[in-house]
Structures are given as C-alpha cells and as structure tokens.
Structure 1
Amino acid sequence: MKEYLSIGEVSKLKGVSIKSLRYYDQLNILKPAYINEQSGYRYYTLDQMVVLDVIIMCVDLGIPLKNFSNYADEQGRLRLDKILEDGQQIAMLKARKIQSALSRMERLSGSIRDYQAYKHNKGIYQRQIGKRNMLTAPWHGNPEDNKLFMKNVSELYLLSLELGLTSLYQQGLIYFYRQDAVEKYVFVEIMEESGDLRVISLPAREYSCTLLPSSQIEETAEIFGYDRAELAGSYVIDVDLYDANVEGDTYPVELQLALPFSG
C-alpha cells in the first residue's frame, strides 16, 4: 500500500479534515482511488493531490463545490483547465477588491494622522496637501443640511461603483469662486483620475487651513479675512476629518482655501 496515502495522511498533509474528504467523495469530486473492502479504509494517490489542491483553492475563492458538476466532461472527469480558468478570474477580481480596500484604509489612516498632527492648531495655518481626484455633483443645499449632504454623498458612492472608480473616505463640499458667481459641488474623493466630466483633479499645493466643529464654508471670506471679491479665482474645500477615536456621529471639519485657483 506504499503507493497510496491513507485518508488520515491526506488530512494531515493538506490540512483538510477527514469529514471534508468524505464530503468530497459524496459530491463525486474526489473519490478515493482505493477502498479496502475489509476495513473500509480509504486511500488516495499522489496524483489526486493536484485535484485536492484545486478543490481547496475553489473553497478559498468561494466557488460552490456543488457547481463542480459543471466542470465535468461527458465521462464525468473533472476539467481542471476550466476550473483554473474560472478560478483565475475570480482570484483577480478578489485581488482588485483587496487592493482597493488597502488603498482606502491607507488613505483613511493618513487622514487620521493629518488630523492628529493639526488638531491642536488655533486659527489659520498652512499645510501641503497632495494631488486629489474628486467625483462631484452640483450642490444646491445648505451646508448644514446633513440629511441632504449624506443623500448626495451616498449617490456619489454608488456612482463611483458604476464608473469602476475606487472611492476613498474623504467627502465634503468644494466651492469655486468665479468673478460673479460661486460654483458649488458635493464630492467624494476617488483614487483614480478619470475623463468623466464629473471628476475634478486638484493639484498638489499649499492650502490655508482652519479646523471647525461643523461646516462654515459659506463664511469662508470672513473666516480667512478676505472680501468676497478677493476670492475670485480661488477655491475652498470643506472636508470631514477623522480622529483615532470615534465619538458620536459628528466629525471635525477642515476648511482648506487655495488662493489663487489655477485651472
């Protein structure tokens, strides 16, 4: 029996329970190569370990084992090439999702570090902020209308999924001051650049900033000490920040003013 592995040996070798191996037998996806009629012991060949590896991979990827019949040929033999082809596609999709999650967590951690570094600042301070991409929608509401704001933000998150864009954890309002008008947008930050006209890319630059307990973007001129006319060509961003400890359902706000706006 040296050419065979017992079910116990296979269980230890591959880290699969004996119960699972019996279940694979019931599903007809990995039947023992030999069963001792007297003892009932089940044995497998080394060649079958490749099939078991594929089964384990499919379990890890979430491919239902009951679907394995879809991968059998007319003689009932498993088509490993088809399983691997589908497995690769599922694995790549999961890898993209994991990379997206890592990017979002990294950006959120950066936001927390930023807030901890500036949370004790009083008044106006200067800081450098890197390039940002923002998926936007026109804003026509009151900045203090949290219900309307969250409705708009939720719609933008859904839109980012439709466009295949990776949304991050930064959200807020952005006002562009023109000579005779103010263009107002609600935004969620995204990782990628895009040719979609609803995506605004802001260059890395220095901003004049101040921390506020709630949105006061409508009072930007007064807060930073400018006349309204002096803001023409500028833009201001009102963005939620996150601290290491979450308390309640409100977040501090940073008002970021860029003078002048070039774009």
Structure 2
Amino acid sequence: MKKRSKLYSIGETSKLKNLSIKALRYYHKEKILMPAYINESTGYRYYSAEQFIHIDIIKAGRQLNVSIEEMRKIFSSANTEELLFFLEQKKKDIDAQINQLNSVKNKIDILRKRIDDSFNIMNDEDFKVTHFQERYLMTTPSTEGKESSDLLDYSTLDCLMENYEIKSIYESGTLYYIDETGHPTPTFVFELINKEDYFKNKDLFSILPTGNYLTLSYTNKNRNEKMLQLRNFIIGNKLHVIHCLELYLFTDIFDVNAFSCQLQVYIKEYN
C-alpha cells in the first residue's frame, strides 16, 4: 500500500513556495492547481509535496506571461510529454528574448562610448595628428545643396544599412573632396561599420586606410572659422590631401539646431 504523502496547509504551502494564499486560491478556482485534499468540514485546502513542482511551473509560466488559458490546458491534459514540449518552446522564447536584450545592451554600450568619446574629442580645439586603424564604411552619394538633402541622404543610407542587416556603431558623417585651392566639396555621406559586417560582403563597402590623420574639432558656431584655418594650413604647408571626412559627434543629442564635428584629413606627407 502506497504511503500517503505529507500534506501542507495552504498557509504552509504559501510560505514554503513563496506564493500568496490569494494566488493559491485563484489557481484552484481556475482549475489549474487543485488541492490534494480539502477538509469537508472546514473547507481548508491542503497540498502535497509532489505538487510543489507544479507550483514552480506555474510561477515560471506567469513570469513568462503565459496566459491562464494556456496554463489550464497544460494542467488539465496532465501529459508530461506535452509539458516537455511546452517547456522547450518557452526555453526558445527565453533564448530569443535574451538575444534581443543583449542586442539592446550592446547598442546602449556603443552609444554611451560614442558620447564619451565625443566629449573627449571636443576638448581638443587645435590641430592634432591622430593615428587610426583601418576603418570600413558604407556610403551613398551626397546631394548637398538640394532641399532637405541631408535628410534624404541619411534616409537612403539607413535603408541600405537595414536592407543588409548592418549594425550601426553611431559613427557617421560626410566625405569631402579637397581641390587645389583647399575648397571642400561633399561627395558622399557615410556610416562607419564594424569589421564583422565588412567581411560579410566586402564589395558593399569602402575602406579608410590605416594612418595618421590631421584632426580638428568644431561646432556649428565656429565651423567656418575652423575650416578656413584648415584650408590655410594645407595650402601654406603645400600638403596633399588624400581623404577628408567630417565625423558627427554626440555632444548635444537634444538640440537639433546645434552640432559638433571632427574633421579627419588623411595627408600624404604624414604617412
């Protein structure tokens, strides 16, 4: 004869499993967790130790936003194979959520670093030679001079990034051609990408070479003054510009009328 399991009152069960008495009564009412025994005289509910794992499943299910209807179906079928399938599906859901959250966390980390770097860059107001490793970028032709050109250019670039499932690292800007007189003409808008995305499809991207770049930071308030300084410096020293890019900085995300940039100029004589 099978020995009868020890029974626990609803209060004891509540304390042992950290589930309120109100919740236990609710799951009884919904025919999800039926007490192992109910005293007919007092109406008191009692639960067996074997039911504790049922409570664990219920609690896990509720944390995963499993509906009462789904929960009722699982317990009414009383089929372990169905429960196993259900748990496996939920595990896949959890893995997907974890991946999504990790992706969001990575974006936050990248953006935080980008903002920190932007403030550090703006601390340097004078010309500076900075060494950069090889960088990869996606570009689209600049239509500067046309109405709403910036918005259209970056909208096009965003669509390309999305279509090819390329992760943003929040480093974008404009590429310039510098003529013999030092006058800059915008040629492309760009978004820097990580090496992983570059190697997925090299033909889509351009490369900025490793080397020393003449850098200069400025805001919208002193941009013209700084650009003139750069032009005079290049012409005065008879330097040959190979690449010139204006990188947008994140020093004030909320003021749409203000901007900060760093100009990076790859000069033949420095490399």
Q: Would you call these one fold, judging by a TM-score over 0.5?
A: yes
Residue 254 of structure 1: aligned partner: 262
- Do 1:177 and 1:183's aligned partners in 2 also have CA atoms closer than 8 Å? no
- Do 2:142 and 2:187's aligned partners in 1 also have CA atoms closer than 8 Å? no
Question: Would the alpha carbon gap of residues 92 and 118 (structure 1) be closer, same or farther in structure 2, given more than 3 Å must change?
Answer: same
Residue 190 of structure 2: aligned partner: 186
Q: Quick one: which amino acid aligns to residue 173 of structure 1? A: T
Q: CA deviation at 1:119?
A: 1.9
Q: CA deviation at 1:125?
A: 1.7
Residue 214 of structure 2: aligned partner: 208
Deviations 1:56-88 (A, max 9, x none): 333333444433466578x45463211221122
- Do 1:71 and 1:82's aligned partners in 2 also have CA atoms closer than 8 Å? no
Gaps of 5+ in 2: 180-184
Q: Matched residue of 2:215: which SS?
A: strand
The within-5 A match list for 1:126-141 is 126-129=129-132, 133-134=136-137, 136-141=138-143
Question: Would the alpha carbon gap of residues 118 and 39 (structure 1) be closer, same or farther in structure 2, given more than 3 Å must change?
Answer: same
Q: Matched residue of 2:171: which SS?
A: strand
- Do 2:140 and 2:188's aligned partners in 1 also have CA atoms closer than 8 Å? yes
Q: Does 1:33 align with 2:43?
A: no
- Do 1:157 and 1:188's aligned partners in 2 also have CA atoms closer than 8 Å? no
Question: Would the alpha carbon gap of residues 7 and 139 (structure 1) be closer, same or farther in structure 2, given more than 3 Å must change?
Answer: farther
Q: Quick one: which amino acid aligns to residue 168 of structure 1? A: I
Deviations 1:28-67 (A, max 9, x none): 4433333333333333333333333333333333444433
Q: What is the number of equivalent residue pairs in this alignment?
A: 251
Q: CA deviation at 1:106?
A: 1.8
Separation in 2, partners of 1:192, 1:259: 28
Q: CA deviation at 1:99?
A: 1.7
Deviations 1:129-148 (A, max 9, x none): 566554x3513322897x55
Higher helix share: 2
1:6 pairs with one of 6, 9, 26: 9
Please provide the CA RMSD for this pair. Answer: 4.2
Question: Would the alpha carbon gap of residues 207 and 19 (structure 1) be closer, same or farther in structure 2, given more than 3 Å must change?
Answer: farther
The within-5 A match list for 1:114-193 is 114-129=117-132, 133-134=136-137, 136-142=138-144, 148-150=149-151, 152-153=153-154, 156-157=157-158, 160=161, 163-175=164-176, 184-187=188-191, 189=193, 192-193=196-197
Q: Matched residue of 1:126: which SS?
A: strand
Separation in 1, partners of 2:240, 2:116: 32
- Do 1:166 and 1:191's aligned partners in 2 also have CA atoms closer than 8 Å? no
Q: Quick one: which amino acid aligns to residue 47 of structure 1? A: E
Residue 230 of structure 1: aligned partner: 240
Separation in 1, partners of 2:29, 2:162: 40
Q: Tell me the TM-score normalized by structure 1.
A: 0.70
Judge which range, 108-117 or 43-52, deviates more: 43-52
- Do 1:131 and 1:202's aligned partners in 2 also have CA atoms closer than 8 Å? yes
Instruction: Name the larger-Rg structure.
Output: 2
Separation in 2, partners of 1:211, 1:19: 63
Q: Does 1:55 align with 2:42?
A: no
Q: Quick one: which amino acid aligns to residue 19 of structure 2? A: V
Q: CA deviation at 1:241?
A: 2.0
Q: Matched residue of 1:256: which SS?
A: strand
Separation in 2, partners of 1:81, 1:50: 14
Q: Matched residue of 2:95: which SS?
A: helix
Gaps of 5+ in 1: none
Question: Would the alpha carbon gap of residues 84 and 122 (structure 1) be closer, same or farther in structure 2, given more than 3 Å must change?
Answer: same
